[in-house]
Homo-oligomer: A and B are copies of this chain.
Amino acid sequence: MQVVSELTDTSRLCLHTITTKPWPLEIAVEKYAAAGVHGITVWRQWLEGKSLEKSRRLISDAGLQVVSLCRGGFFPSANAGKRQEAIAENLRALDEAAAIGAPWVVLVCGADPSQSLIDSRQQIFDGISACLEQAQKLGVKLAIEPLHPMYAGDRSAINTMKQANDLCELIDHPFLGVAVDVYHVWWDPDLQKEIERCGRAGRLLAFHICDWHLPVEDLLNDRGLMGEGCINIRQIRGWVEQTGFTGFNEVEIFSNRWWKTDMDEFLAAILAAYRRHS
């Protein structure tokens, strides 16, 4: 029988700043901390135009732990100059992560629809490889997040856990791992097996939750709150925890529907859904 820990408290709850998109960093940090949220995954836009040191202190003074920095990646391009720019941008993301105390940068690996997936995948390999020396130097990992196959055209040519695991094995670097997001991988018949494989290799860094809400009105920004959709989050969390994962459950919801509502109410709904449906 599968053992899943009960989420009786919020000690392992993390929110992505994008989830409460209307809130700038200061408000998000204050509200999360007041609600008992313990972790924060910071999206880079939330750091723009601010002192990184001040942002780091703001977060740690509130008692929040920085779980990850979102996001790097977007390596592939048919244009070689743009590929170099992407690598430079990822190096900057690593610097930012180090500055705010994020243990890894989550990678949306990217895809260029003007070229083949094979080419895009090779360029992802090259791009990640080019960043790992600096990653190790800074003590910041890179976390490949496989994206749902519906994003293979323009956002990521890495679309399954198997691909992410294969890529990690191929590159074989201690500062490379994987971020598992239920939204992207829930449908995959090989999911349990590949989560086990990822964990066994010591590469399962992060776990993102939300739900697959039907009908999907928008490819990008129509994610559901946990319990609003058909993903068996608890089962997947069980598979993740069976590998020894004790990290945060990160709530990452892009939702035009929820972003239109009052964010305090949304935060309360997240807390309730976290206990009930995660």
- Could you list which residues of chain A lie within 8 angstroms of chain B, going by C-beta atoms? 113-114, 116-117, 121, 148-150, 152-154, 159-160, 162-163, 186-189, 212, 214-216, 219, 229-230, 232, 235
A150: B residues at CB distance < 8 A? 148-150, 216
- Known contacts A113-B230, A114-B230, A148-B150, then 20 further A-B pairs from the complex at CB < 8 Å, ordered by chain A residue: A113-B214, A113-B229, A116-B235, A121-B189, A148-B149, A149-B149, A149-B150, A149-B188, A152-B186, A152-B187, A152-B212, A153-B187, A153-B212, A153-B214, A154-B214, A159-B187, A159-B189, A162-B189, A215-B219, A216-B219
Q: How many copies does the complex hold?
A: 2
A229: B residues at CB distance < 8 A? 113, 153
Q: Considering the chains assembled together, what is the distance between the CA atoms of A213 and B269 in angstroms? A: 36
Residues B153 and A117 in contact, CB atoms below 8 Å apart: no
CB distance from A150 to the nearest CB of B (A): 4
CB distance from A111 to the nearest CB of B (A): 8
26 contacting pairs across A/B (C-beta < 8 A): A113-B214, A113-B229, A113-B230, A114-B230, A116-B232, A116-B235, A117-B187, A117-B189, A149-B149, A149-B150, A149-B187, A152-B186, A152-B187, A152-B212, A153-B187, A153-B214, A153-B229, A153-B230, A154-B214, A154-B215, A159-B187, A159-B189, A160-B189, A163-B189, A215-B219, A216-B219
Shortest Cβ-Cβ A-B pairs, 9 listed: A152-B187, A113-B230, A150-B150, A149-B187, A149-B149, A153-B230, A153-B214, A153-B212, A216-B219
CB distance from A183 to the nearest CB of B (A): 11
A152: B residues at CB distance < 8 A? 186-187, 212
CB distance from A230 to the nearest CB of B (A): 4
A215: B residues at CB distance < 8 A? 154, 219
CB distance from A49 to the nearest CB of B (A): 29
CB distance from A82 to the nearest CB of B (A): 17
A163: B residues at CB distance < 8 A? 189
A214: B residues at CB distance < 8 A? 113, 153-154
CB distance from A9 to the nearest CB of B (A): 28
CB distance from A195 to the nearest CB of B (A): 15
CB distance from A101 to the nearest CB of B (A): 35
CB distance from A186 to the nearest CB of B (A): 8
Name A219's contact: one of B189, B219, B235 (CB within 8 Å): B219
A154: B residues at CB distance < 8 A? 214-215
